[in-house]
């Protein structure tokens, strides 16, 4: 693998701007190489003309004081190193203007790296101090609960070697305090900690905090290593092009800079390993390292094969269903039309879910291709990334189950030889739905149990809004539900369809049933109401006006949905006019919010006009096309109002098609919304989860009050 590809692969995506501009320096090297070739050709042809070189020595340029933003210690360090290398640089020959530009670029990049690295090291050192204090409290708590002295050696020989560094002496200087003194100023944040169950929860919290902190340290170590390697590569290429020792001398400056000499991160990693292994894995080194360094599971070939096989089966089953409908001319007969009106809405529920799952799989694929750190945004555990192939496999599996069920129902109900089983055929959709629910709630560790239960927990947090804290996955899932209003109505139809106990034209009877009509009102509003409550909760917690405006946006959608549902049930020109006006207003508000707020586009003064400064997709036309498609699909939503006067099956087909288009639009929204969220993290160098800690300290609270 080429180094530039490895460099990009090892990069922490949110820190991309802090890394060495490897491609920019390579472009300058190409210009230097081109200039050297011109000089050689001129020399060989006897062409003599005054060289357009800068009248200065390489040493005079390199030894200039560098402006650094990382503090006087680094600045003085660089200057001392430069002075020690001046003798070597004075032997260098004159350099051209482009070489001056090259070395200036090196200076800027080195200062940038030193600045970022020093700030990051200071941050992790402070975090290490906090975690050490938490660990001391946990040890004291263990002693108090067990009422006996637990012999936990604080440091072994390796730990002593690490603790000899000055920056770790401050972290471990209070280790000699006794348990009672430590616990005197401590408060357990969940007001528990008096029994073993509570202690287990506290230990699990600290275990997660240490594991996340270790990953941050490992990323910083890789940051230093990869940037030093990039410097070495660039300077070796420069030496090869210029036949000068200046590159080697500059590399010594890099090696002696803060980036090259700092060993704080390595010491902290060793300290975390020792503390974690001794306190969380019973001194089992392999088990402790396994928890600190979880390996990402590779995608198995069987997943790819199964996905393709199931997708092919789905296509074959759907083709067979279409041929069966056409061969029996069901849509040309009144009896057949009534049958399709009854059965089609029941199976469209599975169609909506499958389409949404496939759109999500496509989003995962394109997020990965564009470098969006979606596992971090969704808060996934390290080593448990759920890729696009696994999601596609679930979608294809559900599609096979639903299409096979539909074909079986079609054959049993409409075939003359099997009409005696017509009553059983009516229960096939219900049986299919029951199988899906059993798989979703299956307690056994099969079919991605951790992912299924994470989804269920997230769904429960959505429906319990605003009683619990809103996280990104919660409101992301709630947004998905707002595009599945028709699927929600299909669930109500299942209840009505099988609750009536009849076997003919049940859908028509459902539409004349008062309870069904009431539920149609309620179920259409619930997803938007949940998002409204989430926005209110975030407004109260974060005190940001934007959440209030977002709540008003969902409130306008609720009004539009209620009026549109009333229009569908009560008919009349006045209701249609009200439905059109409310839907148009809601469409305009939602479209503006999608493009400007959620996607961060249409920035008039950005580097990319009418888009935003940073773009992950290189082709700008993709963004303009997405804006147009989003507007068109939002307008399609209004067409539901006009579909109320269509014939029954035509109306059903129109509603289903528009609902599918809304799911496609949601998939498009997902990609650009998460891209914008990722870029916001990049701007703030935010790449690691903030794990809540179990203990708070009275002295910390006093400091805050002061």
Q: Please state, in angstroms and rounded to a whole number, the distance separating the CA atoms of residues 287 and 273.
A: 11
- Each residue's pLDDT tens digit, 159-176: 555 445 555 555 544 444
The least confident of 480-489, 542-551, 575-584 is 575-584
Q: Higher model confidence: residue 253 or residue 290?
A: 253
Whether 475 shows a pLDDT value over 70: the answer reads: yes
At residue 225, the pLDDT reads: 92
At residue 434, the pLDDT reads: 92
H-state helical runs in 330-466: 334-370, 374-377, 388-414, 422-425, 428-440, 449-463
Whether 154 shows a pLDDT value over 60: the answer reads: no
At residue 195, the pLDDT reads: 56
- Each residue's pLDDT tens digit, 479-494: 999 999 889 888 888 8
H, E, C per residue of 19-47: CCCHHHHHHHHHHHHHHHHHHHHHHHCCC
Q: Please state, in angstroms and rounded to a whole number, the distance separating the CA atoms of residues 447 and 452.
A: 8
At residue 169, the pLDDT reads: 53
Nearest alpha carbon to residue 182 among 117, 132, 234: 132
pTM: 0.76
Beta bridge partners of 603: 611
Q: Please state, in angstroms and rounded to a whole number, the distance separating the CA atoms of residues 495 and 499.
A: 6
Measured CA to CA in angstroms, residue 439 lies from 371, 398, 400, 432, 445 at distances of 32, 11, 15, 11, 11
Nearest alpha carbon to residue 398 among 368, 346, 440: 440
At residue 652, the pLDDT reads: 82
Measured CA to CA in angstroms, residue 127 lies from 134, 159, 291, 694 at distances of 11, 18, 20, 15
Region 412-423 average pLDDT: 76
**Count of CA atoms in the C-beta half-sphere (13 A) of 444:** 4
Q: Please state, in angstroms and rounded to a whole number, the distance separating the CA atoms of residues 92 and 95.
A: 8
At residue 109, the pLDDT reads: 92
- Each residue's pLDDT tens digit, 221-269: 999 999 999 999 999 998 888 877 788 888 889 999 999 898 999 999 9
At residue 644, the pLDDT reads: 52
- Each residue's pLDDT tens digit, 315-371: 999 999 999 888 888 878 877 788 788 888 889 999 999 999 999 999 999 998 888
Rounded percentage of the chain residues whose pLDDT exceeds 70: 78
- Each residue's pLDDT tens digit, 307-316: 999 999 999 9
Region 598-611 average pLDDT: 90
Residue with tokens 């809103």: 470
- Each residue's pLDDT tens digit, 422-433: 777 788 898 999
CA angle 619, 622, 628 (to 5 degrees): 155
User: Per the omega criterion (within 30 degrees of 0), is the bond before 466 cis?
Assistant: yes
**Count of CA atoms in the C-beta half-sphere (13 A) of 254:** 27
Domain residue ranges of the chain, discontinuous segments joined by +: 1-38+98-143+195-294, 302-683
Region 67-78 average pLDDT: 47
Phi first, then psi, for residue 696 (nearest 5°) are -120, 160
In the three-class reduction of DSSP (H, G, I as helix; E, B as strand; rest coil), residue 299 is classed as coil
Phi first, then psi, for residue 199 (nearest 5°) are -65, -35
The pLDDT confidence band at residue 70, using thresholds 50, 70 and 90, is very low
The pLDDT confidence band at residue 117, using thresholds 50, 70 and 90, is very high
Q: Please state, in angstroms and rounded to a whole number, the distance separating the CA atoms of residues 127 and 268.
A: 11
Whether 572 shows a pLDDT value over 80: the answer reads: no
At residue 71, the pLDDT reads: 45
Nearest alpha carbon to residue 595 among 627, 617, 622, 623: 627
Average pLDDT value over all residues in the chain: 80
- Each residue's pLDDT tens digit, 176-225: 445 666 666 677 655 444 456 677 788 888 888 888 889 889 889 999 99
The pLDDT confidence band at residue 85, using thresholds 50, 70 and 90, is very low
Residue-wise DSSP of 583-625: HHHHHHHHHHIIIIIIS---BTTSSSTTB-S--SSS-THHHHH
Whether 17 shows a pLDDT value over 60: the answer reads: yes
The least confident of 157-166, 519-528, 600-609 is 157-166
């Amino acid at each position: 693998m080429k180094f530039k590809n490895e460099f990009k692969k090892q990069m922490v995506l949110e820190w991309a701007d802090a890394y060495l501009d490897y491609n920019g320096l390579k472009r300058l090297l190409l210009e230097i190489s081109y200039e050297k070739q011109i000089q050689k050709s001129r020399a060989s042809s006897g062409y003599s003309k005054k060289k357009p070189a800068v009248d200065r020595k390489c040493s005079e340029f390199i030894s200039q004081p560098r402006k650094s933003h990382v503090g006087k210690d680094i600045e003085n360090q660089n200057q001392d190193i430069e002075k020690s290398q001046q003798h070597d640089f004075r032997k260098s020959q004159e350099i051209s203007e482009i070489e001056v530009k090259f070395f200036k670029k090196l200076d800027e990049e080195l200062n940038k790296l030193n600045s970022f690295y020093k700030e990051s090291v200071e941050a992790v050192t402070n975090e290490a101090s906090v975690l050490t204090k938490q660990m001391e409290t946990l040890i004291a708590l263990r002693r108090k609960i067990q009422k006996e002295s637990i012999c936990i050696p604080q440091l072994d020989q390796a730990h002593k070697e690490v603790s000899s560094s000055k920056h770790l002496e401050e972290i471990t200087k209070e280790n000699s305090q006794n348990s009672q003194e430590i616990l005197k100023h401590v408060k357990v944040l969940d007001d528990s900690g008096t029994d073993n169950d509570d202690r287990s929860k506290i230990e699990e919290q600290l275990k997660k905090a240490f594991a996340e902190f270790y990953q941050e340290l490992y990323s910083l170590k890789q940051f230093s290593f990869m940037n030093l390697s990039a410097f070495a590569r660039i300077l070796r290429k420069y030496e090869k092009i210029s036949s000068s020792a200046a590159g080697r001398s500059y590399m010594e400056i890099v090696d002696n800079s803060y980036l090259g000499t700092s060993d704080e991160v390595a010491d902290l990693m060793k300290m975390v390993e020792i503390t974690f292994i001794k306190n969380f894995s019973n001194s089992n080194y392999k088990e402790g390292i396994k928890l600190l360094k979880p390996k990402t599971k590779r995608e198995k070939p069987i997943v790819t094969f199964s996905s393709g096989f199931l997708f092919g089966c789905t296509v074959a089953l759907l083709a067979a269903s279409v041929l069966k409908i056409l061969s029996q001319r069901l849509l040309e007969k009144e009896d057949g039309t009534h049958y399709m009106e009854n059965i089609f809405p029941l199976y469209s529920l599975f169609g909506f879910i499958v389409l949404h799952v496939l759109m999500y799989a496509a989003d995962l694929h394109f997020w990965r291709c564009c470098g969006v750190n979606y596992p971090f945004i969704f808060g996934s555990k390290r080593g448990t990334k759920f890729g696009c192939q696994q999601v596609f496999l679930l979608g294809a599996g559900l599609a096979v189950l639903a299409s096979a069920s539909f074909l079986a129902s079609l054959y049993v109900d409409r075939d003359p030889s099997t009409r005696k089983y017509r009553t059983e055929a009516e229960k096939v959709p219900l049986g299919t739905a029951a199988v899906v629910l059993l798989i979703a709630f299956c307690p056994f560790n099969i079919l991605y149990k951790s992912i299924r239960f994470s989804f269920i927990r997230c769904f429960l947090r959505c429906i319990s809004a605003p009683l619990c804290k809103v996280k990104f996955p919660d409101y992301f899932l709630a947004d998905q539900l707002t595009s599945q209003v028709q699927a929600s109505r299909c669930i109500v139809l299942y209840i009505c369809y099988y609750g009536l106990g009849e076997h003919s034209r049940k859908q028509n009877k459902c539409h004349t049933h008062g309870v069904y009509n009431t539920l149609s009102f309620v179920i259409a509003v619930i997803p938007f109401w949940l998002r409204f409550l989430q926005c209110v909760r975030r407004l109260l917690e974060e005190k940001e006006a934007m959440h209030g405006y977002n709540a008003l946006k969902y409130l306008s959608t609720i009004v539009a949905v209620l009026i549109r549902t009333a229009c569908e049930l009560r008919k009349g020109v006045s209701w249609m006019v009200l439905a059109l006006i409310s839907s148009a207003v809601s469409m305009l508000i939602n479209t503006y919010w999608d493009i400007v707020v959620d996607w961060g586009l249409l920035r008039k003064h950005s580097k990319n006009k009418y888009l935003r400064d940073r773009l992950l997709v290189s082709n700008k036309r993709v963004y303009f096309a997405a804006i147009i498609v989003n507007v068109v699909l939002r307008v399609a939503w209004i067409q539901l109002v006009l579909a109320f006067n269509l014939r029954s099956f035509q109306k059903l087909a129109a509603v289903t098609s528009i609902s599918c288009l809304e799911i496609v639009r949601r998939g498009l929204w997902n990609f650009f919304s998460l891209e914008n969220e990722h870029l916001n993290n990049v701007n703030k160098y935010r790449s690691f989860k903030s794990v809540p800690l179990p203990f708070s300290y009275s002295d910390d609270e006093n400091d805050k009050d002061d």
